[in-house]
Structure 1
Amino acid sequence: MLTEIFPFQFALDATQLSGIGLWSIALYLGFFPVSEWVMEKLQQWFNFAERSLYTSEKEFERTRKARESQNAFYASLFSIVPFLGIGLLCNYGVEIGLGRSWAISIGILACVIGGVYELGRRDGQSS
């Protein structure tokens, strides 16, 4: 089916996709203040870009709350994109350095370390 839409073929390897996903989650958790900053900047940009679509101030203010909520949702979804790119590089580096069989294992280990770090960081902020 995809070959009918695209004039070229590309192979999706499940090992690479899962390794990239694991690395991006690990980086997202490990650098959570950075991911919050990216999310905030994306939300500001979405709100600014959408403001230019309205000519009526009254209509803009009437639908403001719903649009800002929608933009916050989209910003939270798109904030993972930079981490997917960096996760791809990390996964590729592990595959080249240690071999393909280690990519998933190191990705899982990085996720655990990132999760424990984030829990400790939040606990330190609360006390």
Structure 2
Amino acid sequence: MSIDLIVFSVTIDPSEIAGACLWALALYLGFSPVGDWVIEQLNRWFNYAERSLYSSIEEFERTRAAREAQNAFYASILSILPFLGAGALCNFGVEAGLGKSWAISVGILACMGCGIYELGRRDGQKSD
């Protein structure tokens, strides 16, 4: 019955999902300071938004540690969404430019390259 309400059908190819996720991982690794910034901003926003839900300061302070930990978890999970969008665009660009057969392969190469870059960046920060 509810299927009759949907006028069009949306089909998503599994290789497009895999390619977008590979590109999202590569971008998340390659731009990890941006990912950390996004996590920090989301965490700040969650803490600010949740503060407005409490009318009592005592109740707010009593449950503060648990809520801040929960908000940090949610922020880290939701921080991948902008990278998924950018990854989908990168995957679409590779598919349009090189063809569908290259999208997954180039995504894997991007993940390896960005992973090696991230390891080198962290090693350089550690030695400073």
Q: TM-score, normalised by structure 1?
A: 0.95
* Counterpart in the other structure of 2:59: 59
Secondary structure of 1:108's counterpart equals: helix
Question: In the aligned structure 2, how far is the partner of 1:32 from the partner of 1:38?
Answer: 10
- Residue of structure 2 in register with 1:11 after alignment: 11
Query: Which residue in the other structure is 1:42 paired with?
Result: 42
Change beyond 3 A, Cα 1:36–1:6: farther
Distance 1:4 1:97 in 2: 36
- For 1:28 and 1:57, the matched residues in 2 are separated by 38
Q: Aligned partners of 2:71 and 2:63: how far apart in 1?
A: 12
One-letter amino acid of the structure 2 residue matched with residue 28 of structure 1: Y
Matched pairs, number: 125
Q: Which runs of 5+ in 2 are unaligned?
A: none
User: Which one-letter code corresponds to 1:125 in the other structure?
Assistant: Q
Aligned to 2:26: 26
Deviations 1:38-94 (A, max 9, x none): 000000000000000000000000000000000000000000010011101100000
Q: State which drifts further: 22-31 or 7-16.
A: 7-16
After TM superposition, the runs of 4+ consecutive aligned structure 1 residues lying more than 4 A away are none
SS at match of 1:54: coil
CA apart distance, 1:6: 6.7
Write the distance in 2 (CA, Å) between the matches of 1:12 and 1:67.
36
Separation of aligned partners in 1, 2:94 and 2:12: 18
> Residue 55 of structure 1: SS of its match in structure 2?
coil
RMSD: 1.3
1:98 aligns with 2:98: yes
SS at 2:24 equivalent: helix
Once residues 82 and 36 of structure 2 are traced to their aligned partners in structure 1, the CA distance between those partners, rounded to angstroms, is: 12
Give the letter aligned to residue 12 of structure 1.
I
Q: CA deviation at 1:4?
A: 3.8
Q: Does 1:113 align with 2:109?
A: no
Partner residue, 1:83: 83
Question: Percent same amino acid at aligned positions?
Answer: 64
- Separation in 1, partners of 2:24, 2:94: 14
